[in-house]
Amino acid sequence: MRYLHTMVRVKDLDASLAFYTTLFGLEEIRRHENEKGRFTLVFLAARDDLDRARSEKAPCLELTYNWDTEDYSGGRNFGHLAYEVDDIYATCQNLMDNGVTINRPPRDGNMAFVRSPDGISIEILQKGSPLPAAEPWASMGNTGAW
């Protein structure tokens, strides 16, 4: 068995692609338009995963865009997507400079959280940093300043 992808439904495909590719740095590796089902699937991969994602279709993020407007209530059972970055501060600064809220700033230098246009939580981890203690942000006395 191997991991293939995580699928999230998006309300606005253009806004989601602008966030996940232009701002966050993922790249589109394939797309499937389904006329009969009236939906579009777009598969995205992180730069360091591109070769494997193109040849083995994994690991990917699958965006599903239903052409007929649907409202998606955020399922509490879904947690987050997690990506490792070379420079967490530069990543967060670029996102913030482009209007993305840093819901959990990288004050500890190794973990931050942002949300996609659809409210999907995204964990950003600094490459080479130890996995952070699983402490709730507020309990660490943090106010959001970083």
Ligand X SMILES: C[C@@H](O)C(=O)SC[C@H](NC(=O)CC[C@H](N)C(=O)O)C(=O)NCC(=O)O
Nearest to 97 by CA among 22, 43, 17: 22
Q: How far apart are CA 12 and CA 110, in angstroms?
A: 30
Q: Does 32 bind Ni ion (CB under 5 A)?
A: no
In the window 35-74, what residues touch Ni ion (CB under 5 A)?
A: 62
CB-nearer residue toward Ni ion: 63 or 92: 63
Tally of CB atoms within 10 A around 41: 16
Contacts 24+ apart (CB under 8 A), 131-134: 132/108
- Binding of residue 7 to Ni ion (CB under 5 A): yes
Using rule CB under 5 A, residue 15 touches Ni ion: no
Residue 41 interacting partner from ligand X, Ni ion, none (CB closer than 5 to 8 Å by kind)? ligand X
Q: Which of 56, 84, 123, 135 is catalytic?
A: 123
CB 10 within 8 A of CB 117: yes
CA distance 42 to 121: 19
Pick the closer one to Ni ion by CB: 62 or 84: 62
Residue 20 C-beta: closest distance to ligand X, Å? 16
90 binds Ni ion (CB under 5 A): no
Using CA atoms, how far apart are residues 88 and 118, in angstroms rounded to an integer? 22
What does the binding site for ligand X look like in residue numbers (CB under 6 A)? 7, 9, 37, 39, 41, 62, 64, 66
* Catalytic residue flag (residue 123): yes
Do the Cβ atoms of 110 and 132 come closer than 8 Å? yes
What residue number has its CB nearest to Ni ion?
Answer: 7
- Contact between 34 and Ni ion by CB under 5 A: the answer reads no
Active site members: 123
Binding site for Ni ion (CB under 5 A): 7, 62
